[in-house]
Amino acid sequence: MSNRDIQNTKAVFKREFLAYFNSPVLYVIVVIFLLAAMGFPFFFSRILDSEDVSLTERFFVWHPWIYTVLAPAVGMRLWSEEHRLGTIELLLTMPVSPWQAILGKFFAASCVWLIGLTLTFPIVWTVCYLGYPDMGPIMSGYIASYLYALACLALTSAISAITRSQVVCFIVSVAFCIVIALIGDPGVTHTIVSTTPDWAAGFVRFVSYFSFMDHFFELTKGIFVFRDVFYFLSVIIVTLIITNLALRAKRA
Amino acid sequence: MIQVKNLIKVFGTKVAVDDVSFSVEKGEVLGFLGPNGAGKSTTMRMVTGYFRPTSGSVSLCGINMLEEPEQAKQRLGYLPENAPLYSDMTVASFLGFCAELRGLHGADRTRAIDRVLDLCFLDSVRNQSVDTLSKGYRHRTCFAQSIIHDPDVLILDEPTDGLDPNQKHEVRGMIKRMGQNKAIIFSTHILEEVEAACSRAIIIDRGKVVADGTPESLKKLVPGAKSLDEVFRSITKPDTAHKHAA
Ligand SMILES: Nc1ncnc2c1ncn2[C@@H]1O[C@H](COP(=O)(O)OP(=O)(O)O)[C@@H](O)[C@H]1O
Ligand SMILES: [Mg+2]
């Protein structure tokens, strides 16, 4: 990595990050995220009525579904907006490599989620006040949750590179996030396996291995498994590579 | 300084640019003329490295655009068609962002911003959001971006499009002045502009170069033509030509 790589990535990052704060969309999304992330544990999981002070089953369990809707809402502007405004022509004729731009934008969106997730700290306070929770699972739960959000963001980035419409990008990304969450659901896998011929069952199980869910729950259990971290990192890297290919195809 | 050889661009089955070659030296202003859809923007997008040519080569200041895009782009300033801008930024922050991507930081960056704000008469809107600017100011902001690093090569796609007569005159004057120590290409379909600002002109029609020379020599191409306008009309075919023929 050269000095120029860092400077260019930083310049794109800074522009993108400030753009989030200049638009009302960000504040709306963070508020909805906080209401959902903090509200669900209290109203649906009855966190206050229980003796158990671990957060895994009551707090983190909601996150994949929240990210399925909200991560695409944050990521949809990344490239769609550049296509719509025509600024992509400006950006890509600057002495900037596509990777510097892709990473700068992705880091900016990642920082937005870091802020959102950090603002959920009152829930940690609450359980610490109620009892003596094990901090290990809380830490790994946060890491799992953040990785899940980043994977959804990287997926949205790839789709936004293809379309100039933020609405199309949002809908398609949400659909992808739902599918990739559901394919690992034991119920869903079981149903599909029982309706497919034997020779295909192995394939279905193989596909279900690619679900975000399994890896997410392994991580939240508090066993910090390198394999699952590696899984999320590879999803992020692959979808960013797809972003690059999509951008190149667009200017073919 | 700009060397373009045998550029071809095919979209699907449509040949948008068909074997275009030309070169522009330092101190030259090349006018790019042609009817709508002739392939002017597509050619410029290949010269600036935005589109990858189907075949052919582009080099700027001796640097091949396809082999070393980042180095070649460093020498280049570009005003795309319709002057795109990031709508969530102010004029100064937009120019600051472009300066950073050009490798200007700290005091150099501030100096570069001040210089182009002054050159393009943007001082009064310095901290205004680009979203609220009038068309002329938007255009000048994007133009300012293209000269912020004082590039050797300047490529302007319809730089006077949508400006009022005073602004047009101002931009032409600026192009002519900067043309003294840069290589400039600009596209237009206003013919008087070519005579006012260019040292050479290329007429392009349906992707092909149909004439190349000084504005004076182009006039001699068609016997009896008194203005560039008549030359243009007789060597390029209007969109409606085939309908009349039918
Ligand atoms: N991205 C693209 N995909 C398909 N066709 C294109 C694309 N860009 C331009 N064209 C076609 O190429 C031709 C030349 O367009 P353009 O270079 O924009 O013309 P000009 O700038 O001279 O008006 C047009 O027929 C246009 O429809
Ligand atoms: Mg054009």
| Backbone phi, psi, residue A50, to 5° | -105, 155
Kindly list the strands in the beta sheet with B2-11, ordered across the sheet, starting from the edge strand earlier in the chain.
B14-24, B2-11, B55-60, B63-64
List beta partners, residue B208. Answer: B205
Contact of A119 with chain B, judged by CB distance below 8 Å, is answered with: no
- Average confidence score pLDDT of chain A: 86
Q: How much is the pLDDT for A37?
A: 87
Beta bridge partners of B167: none
Distance between CA atoms of residues A36 and A123, nearest Å: 12
Query: ipTM value of the model?
Result: 0.90
Q: Which residue of A has its CA nearest to B53?
A: A252
Please write the tens of the pLDDT for every residue from B28-62. 999 999 888 899 999 999 999 999 999 999 999 99
* Cβ(B40) – ligand 1 distance below 6 Å: yes
pLDDT per residue as tens digits for the range B206-220: 999 988 888 778 777
CB of B37 within 8 A of CB of B188?
Answer: no
Q: How far apart are CA B32 and CA B42, in angstroms?
A: 12
pLDDT at position A45 is: 65
Beta partners for B78? B155
Q: How far is B93 from chain A (nearest CA, A)?
A: 9
Ligand having the closest approach to the CA of B158: 2
Find out whether the beta carbon of B31 lies less than 6 Å from any atom of ligand 1: no
In contact, B93 and B58? CB cutoff 8 Å: no
Contact between B51 and B8 under an 8 Å Cβ cutoff? The reply is: no
DSSP letter at B57 equals E
A128 touches B: beta carbon within 8 Å? no
Q: Does A251 touch chain B (CB under 8 A)?
A: yes
Asked if B175 contacts B98 with a C-beta cutoff of 8 angstroms, the reply is no
Q: How many CB pairs under 8 A join A and B?
A: 73
Res B237 pLDDT > 80: no
Residue A62: DSSP 8-state: G
Report pLDDT for B246.
45
- Residue A92: partners with Cβ closer than 8 Å, 6 or more residues away: A98, A101, A247, A251, B49, B50
Cβ pair A85:B78 closer than 8 A: no
pLDDT confidence of residue B99: 96
pTM for the structure as a whole: 0.90
| Out of A102-111, A131-140, A239-248, least confident range | A131-140
Boundaries of every domain in chain B: 1-70+181-246
Q: Which residue has the higher pLDDT, A26 or A185?
A: A26
| Pure H helices in B83-134 | 91-101, 106-119
Which has the minimum average pLDDT: A40-49, A89-98, B193-202? A40-49
Check pLDDT > 80 for residue B168: yes
SS3 per residue for chain A? CCHHHHHHHHHHHHHHHHHHHCCHHHHHHHHHHHHHHHHHHHHCCCHHHCCCCCCCCCCHHHHHHHHHHHHHHHHCHHHHHHHHHCHHHHHCCCCCCHHHHHHHHHHHHHHHHHHHHHCCHHHHHHHHHHCCCCHHHHHHHHHHHHHHHHHHHHHHHHHHCCCCCHHHHHHHHHHHHHHHHHCCCHHHHHHHHHHCCHHHHHHHHHHHCCCHHHHHHHHHCCCCCHHHHHHHHHHHHHHHHHHHHHHHHHCC
Query: Which of A113-127, B103-117, B224-238 has the least mean pLDDT?
Result: B224-238
In this structure, whether the domain defined by B1-70+181-246 belongs to CATH 3.40.50.300 is answered with: yes
Lowest-confidence pick of A59-73, A201-215, B75-89, B182-196: A201-215
- Chain B residues in contact with A251 by the CB 8 A cut-off are 50-52
Comparing A81-85, A154-158, A192-196, B131-135, which segment has the lowest mean pLDDT? A192-196
Q: Does A167 touch chain B (CB under 8 A)?
A: no
A48: pLDDT strictly greater than 90: no
Residues in CB range of A168: below 8 A, 6 or more apart: A80
In A16-35, the residues whose Cβ lies within 8 Å of chain B are 18-19, 22-23
Which distant-in-sequence residues (6+ apart) come within 8 Å of A184 by Cβ?
A: A208, A209, A210, A211, A212, A213, A214
CA of residue A226 to ligand 1 center, whole Å: 50
